[in-house]
Amino acid sequence: GIQVEQSPPDLILQEGANSTLRCNFSDSVNNLQWFHQNPWGQLINLFYIPSGTKQNGRLSATTVATERYSLLYISSSQTTDSGVYFCAVLGYRGTSYGKLTFGQGTILTVHP
């Protein structure tokens, strides 16, 4: 099945810093989503972005489907941005078709 790798696994920032999270995937995908998991476990949708660039406030995301990667940018980070960020892709073919496969996540800690 499709493989999803996220980097870095851990990231520690001071409040106000910018960061870039990366998601690489091993095959063509029908869609790609970025999520933020808060300390209570709730998964919050950030972006649905199979290709192109989207922005939502301090967050933006870019997916280059032909090169099989996506980037999540966080600008002017705040302590409330802390948590785990997941990338998930919906497979295009074979055993991955129709299934959302998650990466292992990036743990972000923002210090005041």
Is 40 a binder of other proteins (CB under 8 A)?
yes
Structure tokens at 17: 């810093």
User: Are 30 and 22 contacting, i.e. CB atoms less than 8 angstroms apart?
Assistant: no
Question: What is the SS3 assignment for 82?
Answer: coil
How many C-beta atoms lie closer than 10 Å to residue 67's C-beta? 8
Is 33 a binder of other proteins (CB under 8 A)?
yes
CA atoms within 13 A on the CB side of 82: 12
Q: Which of 14-22, 57-65, 68-76, 101-109 is the region at the interface with other proteins (rule: CB under 8 A)?
A: 101-109
Is 26 a binder of other proteins (CB under 8 A)?
no
| Helices first, then strands: H and E counts in the chain | 0, 11
Residue from 13, 23, 72, 88 binding other proteins (CB under 8 A): 88
Is 8 a binder of other proteins (CB under 8 A)?
no
Where along the sequence are the contacts to other proteins (CB under 8 A)?
1, 4, 30-31, 33, 35, 40-43, 45, 48, 86, 88, 90, 98-105
